[in-house]
Amino acid sequence: MKTQEESIIKRRDVYIERIKPFMHKSIIKVMIGQRRVGKSYVLLQLIEIIKQENSDANIIYINMEDLKFSSIKNAIELNDYIISQQKKGKRNYIFIDEVQEIQGFEKTLRSLLLDKDNDIYITGSNANILSSELATFLSGRYVEFNIYSLSYSEFLMFHNLENNDDSFQKFSIYGGLPYLIHLNLEDKIVFEYIKSIYNTIIYRDIINRYKIRNTVFLEQLLSFISDNIGSLFSAKKISDYLKSQNVNINTNQVLSYIDYFSSAFILNKVGRYDIIGKRIFEIGDKYYFENLGIRNSIVGYKLQDRAKVLENIVYNHLLFKGYKVKVGVLDTQEIDFVCEKDNEKLYVQVSLNIQEEKTIEREFGNLQKIQDNYPKIVVSQDEFIGNSFNGIKHFNIKNFLLELSL
């Protein structure tokens, strides 16, 4: 009989299909993402696939969160351990979970790539460390895959839920951390677990790693961002916030703190794109949470939050579908999301509802001003669907998350 963990593994095939073309090849497969979003499950699923293909395959698995591997602290110790487990004349499948915990890991990976019989898979929870070290030492010899919290369709599947308003409400409040399958979906239980994950990320991946002393302000800042997801952050806005808190920290330091949140995958930074001038603005970004359960565990989920949470959900889904996403600027108007994939574009506006005439004019009208023929859609929580406004389609949020072919 399969364990519950094994049944979970079988359900994240969207990532396996993306990784499969690179399996059995001398190129490092890198899976990045926030802690506890399921990177380890993806590794285990890949191992299972390899074992099914070859029951005698030599699997070398290192989990840096397992005390058994605590003796591996640097590149030399990592290299020595792997060499001790290798079998000459056979393909060796090497899996390293949370590789950023090993100092100088990139040097070992570069060395291992010299042997074409090594098939290497790694995961990591720090974007800055992985991107800088891999780009420096392994440029052109690795391929990166972002692993996200459960999508809405995965959330329904994991929890055996029907697609209805109650299920969507649960998804909006609790987010998609895979381990929630083991818990009752109740506020007190879920948020106690999520808070423990949040604390691990904050203290292990940010405070300890970057030697931050002012931990109180760090958490105040994240709380401020939590209350303002989808808002434009500028130097002035940050400066005004500092003054309101009577905090004497320069703006650049605050921006560094925000970058730390992004590097730990708590936040995603979204730049602004000038649709007419086709350029990226150098200042002013928006931030969205990778996992809304973490956001809601910080500041709670309130009725007045529904619109910004909806916008965050749409943004996360676009990332899940493989889009590169920017905030669009069109003269004085804003387009919520300008999305690009495979040299194609998609423009998306998000609104809690579009029942009022002025809302219809704003959301559809802004999209109409874009002078190209790429698809343009409006997403809202309105149940009425199936119509369009001058060729611009409207989608209910649940249909957008489950049925829209992007």
Split at pLDDT 50, 70, 90, the class of 238 is confident
User: Is residue 363 located within the same domain as residue 290?
Assistant: yes
Q: At what angle do helices 187-200 and 165-174 cross, to 10 degrees?
A: 30
User: Is residue 118 located within the same domain as residue 168?
Assistant: no
pTM for the whole structure: 0.94
User: Is residue 389 located within the same domain as residue 246?
Assistant: yes
Question: pLDDT (tens digit, 9 = 90+) per residue, 54-71?
Answer: 999 999 999 999 999 999
User: Is residue 140 located within the same domain as residue 170?
Assistant: no
Where among 103, 126, 146 does a domain terminate?
146
Give whole-number Cα distances, 230 to 75, 113, 335, in Å: 40, 42, 12
Q: Which domain holds residue 259?
A: 152-402
User: Is residue 180 located within the same domain as residue 296?
Assistant: yes
User: Is residue 84 located within the same domain as residue 188?
Assistant: no
User: Is residue 34 located within the same domain as residue 76?
Assistant: yes
Q: What is the DSSP string of 291-326?
A: -HHHHHHHH---GGGHHHHHHHHHHHHHHHTT-EEE
pLDDT given for residue 404 in this prediction: 66
User: Is residue 244 located within the same domain as residue 353?
Assistant: yes
Number of domains forming the structure of the chain? 2
All residues at 6 or more sequence positions from 196 whose CB lies less than 8 Å from its CB, including other chains = none
Where among 114, 146, 178 does a domain terminate?
146
Question: pLDDT (tens digit, 9 = 90+) per residue, 173-218?
Answer: 999 999 999 999 999 999 999 999 999 999 999 999 999 999 999 9
Where among 146, 178, 198 does a domain terminate?
146
Report the distance separating Cα 109 and Cα 119, nearest Å.
Answer: 11
User: Is residue 200 located within the same domain as residue 246?
Assistant: yes
Question: pLDDT (tens digit, 9 = 90+) per residue, 58-112?
Answer: 999 999 999 999 999 999 999 999 999 999 999 999 999 999 999 999 999 999 9
The C-alpha angle with vertex 27 and arms to 26 and 31, in degrees rounded to 5, equals: 140
User: Is residue 157 located within the same domain as residue 224?
Assistant: yes
User: Is residue 195 located within the same domain as residue 304?
Assistant: yes
Report the distance separating Cα 403 and Cα 44, nearest Å.
Answer: 29
Report the distance separating Cα 316 and Cα 258, nearest Å.
Answer: 19
User: Is residue 102 located within the same domain as residue 196?
Assistant: no
The CATH number of the domain where 49 resides is what? 3.40.50.300
